Amino acid sequence: MLTMKDIKKIYRTDSIETHALRDFNLHVNEGDFVAVTGPSGSGKTTFLNIAGLLETFEEGRFELDGVDISHQNDAARSRLRNQKIGFVFQSFNLIPDLNLFDNVDVPLRYRGFSRQERKKRIEHNLEMVGLGNRMKHLPAQLSGGQQQRVAIARALAGEPRFLLADEPTGNLDSSMAQSVMALLKDINANGTTIIMVTHDAGLATQANRNIHVSDGKVSEKAMSLSPEAAQFKPSQHKRVVGLSE
Amino acid sequence: MFNYYIKLAFNSFKRNPILTGLMITAIALGIGASMTTITVNYLMSADPIPEKSSQLFHVQVDSWDPNHGFNDEPNTPPNQLTWTDATNLMSAKKAFRQTAMAKSGAIIQPSSPDINPFEASIRLAFKDFFPMFNVPFKYGNGWDQQADDDRQLVVVLSKEINDKVFAGENSVGNSIVIFGQSFRVIGVLDAWQPLPKFYDVNNGAFDEPEDLFMPFYLKQELELPNWGNTNCWKTPEGEGFTAFLQSECINFQMWVELKTPQDKQAYMSFLNNYVNDQKELGRFPRPLNNQLLNVMQWMDDQDVVADDAQIMMWLSFMFLVVCLLNTIGLQLAKFSAKSGEIGLRRAVGATKRDLFMQYTVETGAVGFAGGLFGLVLALLGLIGIRQLYGEVLNDLASLDLTMIALALVLSLLASICAGLYPTWRACNIAPASQLKSQ
């Protein structure tokens, strides 16, 4: 489903070359919940950016859902991002002057859905994350955990195959982090493949697969799964997830 | 998507009201200054009679000093005619329509004791003056050939004079005392203000038309005074009015209506033959140099659009450029503050083209608002010009629909051009670098 083979990524300035990824190899199956851990500067975010088609790479081969990414131009990568990938960021990245409805609407606008279809999806996803009654609120009127749930609703509105989460609980306190994690697990259980970068080993153990990135390379941990993660099986049918803090 | 982009533009205005306000003000100042000067130039250089300006020709024959060209220009014939040439050319009747003209003035003595005698300007012309220049009549008509030939004391009043002397009533058939003579009113003009006053630009291209119109030969009959510019290259031989009329002094204008290029060619041949005949009589010592210029060529030849008005226009364009450079800076600052949003939109699937359209619409909306504000400033500028120059530019200081549309289009284009670089930069922001840092 997602296959990276010998990916090499180098950042260059006038005098410095930084090898962010070298011989990076990874295969992610449909329905996986992959936690990516590693020290700062190890290449986790670079990997996630390449996986999310936000950055290009120098060498190697990357296939996403059967599409060879190295041959896609910028517009095609934008379309792929729009159709197949949802993003959740540490700092939520909501647009401050748009209300929740309009924030969730952003990716759908670029998808070309009808007004009716967009409305249906926005309302469904905001209901799913427990914010159906606050659609006209601005992000600043919400707590951090609520903002992250809006970001998750936005990521899911287009029904992507992949959800890429970069430190999704990094700005949240532990109880909010747990509720967001529970939401992500429910989403994964509904069939969405999730790749989550995290520094939190405790959260990583809740994923059903854990990889460690160090010096731009993957070292997959044969870690023992937590009891919750062990029970974790992607289902074939989506369901509505309710959440409250 | 256009409606969506408009909505986002207004959201952006609300988010950055000060930056947006500064941009709108910068564009408005540039547009206001430009439109003020463009309007004056536009009205100065407008075709005053577009339906037939290419068929009306100003007649020039070079009767000037053999040693010095007119205005010391070796190849320029004089801009007016002598009485001799004006009357000779009129007698020949070689054009479809033709009129020699002169400007004069006299005292009007209204019959009503409530109105004091006052001085009025006079246009002396032939009967063709009215149909040639599409002069509109409110009452009555112009005079006929008989009136020209018999030097009848008939007069056509301007609307203003009729309003003043006859309280706006139909005065056709009434008498009016002008220059001590009783004239019969045969026509009253409707409102008429050709801009520029093309038929006599050398006596004030933006002056009002004359108050009274009467047959040309009354100039000689009544010895009406010369108004306007009179130039002589040699002293009249003898004293008095008749000597002046027989001199080489120029004070008369002449226009002909020629419908086809062949007619023009034929008339030019006629002029050349006429001058050659005159040379045999000892006149026209300079080489053959006659000229027939149509209305717009004549405007151009006479520099109707003043040089300083053109310089002001170019200066105002430079000011607009400075304002747009400021707008570019403000736009860069605004888009820089939006880099997080730009990164997010790219991440969720916006193409560079989507963002380019979004921010072009936003810039265009700023430009449109700047254009509207600029129009208000342009109106204030034109009022200022009217205050500064008084009646001379009164009719040149008004915005018509064309100018309003031009202001908005200019503003839109200018702002979009100014926004190209900031928009291009915004579209090329690497999304990954913005998403982590927000």
Cβ contact B267:B57 at 8 Å: yes
Task: Give residue B392's pLDDT.
Answer: 54
Quick check: A96 contacting B, CB < 8 Å?
yes
Per the CB < 8 Å rule, is A75 touching B352? yes
More confident residue, B313 or A229: B313
Q: Which residues of B touch A156 (CB under 8 A)?
A: none
| Domain ranges, ordered by start, for chain B | 2-45+306-437, 56-301
Which band of pLDDT confidence, cut at 50, 70 and 90, is reported for residue B437?
low
Task: Give residue B203's pLDDT.
Answer: 79
Q: Which residues of B touch A52 (CB under 8 A)?
A: 347
Query: What distances in angstroms separate CA B405 from CA B40, B144, B409, B410, B412, one per listed residue?
Result: 16, 44, 6, 8, 11
ipTM field: 0.85
Tokens of B9: 């533009």
How far away is chain B from the Cα of A227, in angstroms, using its nearest Cα?
32
Give Cα B13 distance to the centre of its chain: 40
Which band of pLDDT confidence, cut at 50, 70 and 90, is reported for residue B136?
very high
Q: Is the pLDDT of residue B406 over 80?
A: yes
Q: Go through the domains of chain A in sequence order and give each one's CATH number.
A: 2-231 (3.40.50.300)
Q: Is the pLDDT of residue A237 over 60?
A: no
Which residues of B, range 13-52, sit inside 8 Å of A by Cβ?
14-15
DSSP 8-state symbol, A42: S
Per the CB < 8 Å rule, is B1 touching A54? no
Quick check: A89 contacting B, CB < 8 Å?
yes
Task: Give residue B275's pLDDT.
Answer: 95
Max Cα distance, chain B (Å): 99
DSSP structure string for A186-206? HHHHTT-EEEEE-S-HHHHTT
CA triple B117-B118-B123, angle to 5 deg: 125
- Please, what is the average pLDDT of chain A? 83
Per the CB < 8 Å rule, is B348 touching A106? yes
**Which of A58, A120, A51 lies closest to A81 in space, CA to CA?**
A51
Per the CB < 8 Å rule, is A106 touching B351? no
Structure confidence by residue, pLDDT tens digits, A81-101: 999 999 888 888 899 889 999
Quick check: B435 contacting A, CB < 8 Å?
yes
Quick check: A55 contacting B, CB < 8 Å?
yes
**Which of A184, A144, A177, A172 lies closest to A34 in space, CA to CA?**
A184
Per the CB < 8 Å rule, is A55 touching B432? yes
Per the CB < 8 Å rule, is A93 touching B14? no
Nearest to A93 among B344, B351, B354 (CB): B344
CB pairs under 8 A between A and B: 72
CA dihedral B357, B359, B360, B365 (to 10 degrees): 120
Cβ contact B137:B190 at 8 Å: yes
* Mutate which: A47, A97, A104, A114, vs B, most B CBs within 10 A: A97
Cβ contact B284:B62 at 8 Å: yes
Which band of pLDDT confidence, cut at 50, 70 and 90, is reported for residue A223?
very low
Between the two ends of chain A, the Cα-to-Cα distance in Å is 34
Distance CA B171, CA B157 (A): 9
Nearest to A93 among B349, B353, B435 (CB): B435
Quick check: A161 contacting B, CB < 8 Å?
no
Q: Which residues of A touch B436 (CB under 8 A)?
A: 45, 89-90, 166
How far away is chain B from the Cα of A98, in angstroms, using its nearest Cα?
8
Which residues of A, range 107-126, sit inside 8 Å of B by Cβ?
107, 109-111
How far away is chain A from the Cα of B345, in angstroms, using its nearest Cα?
7
* Mutate which: A13, A40, A78, A167, vs B, most B CBs within 10 A: A78
Structure confidence by residue, pLDDT tens digits, B212-256: 999 999 999 999 999 988 999 988 888 889 999 999 999 999 999
Task: Give residue A221's pLDDT.
Answer: 61
Tell me the one-letter amino acid at B269.
S
How far away is chain B from the Cα of A133, in angstroms, using its nearest Cα?
23
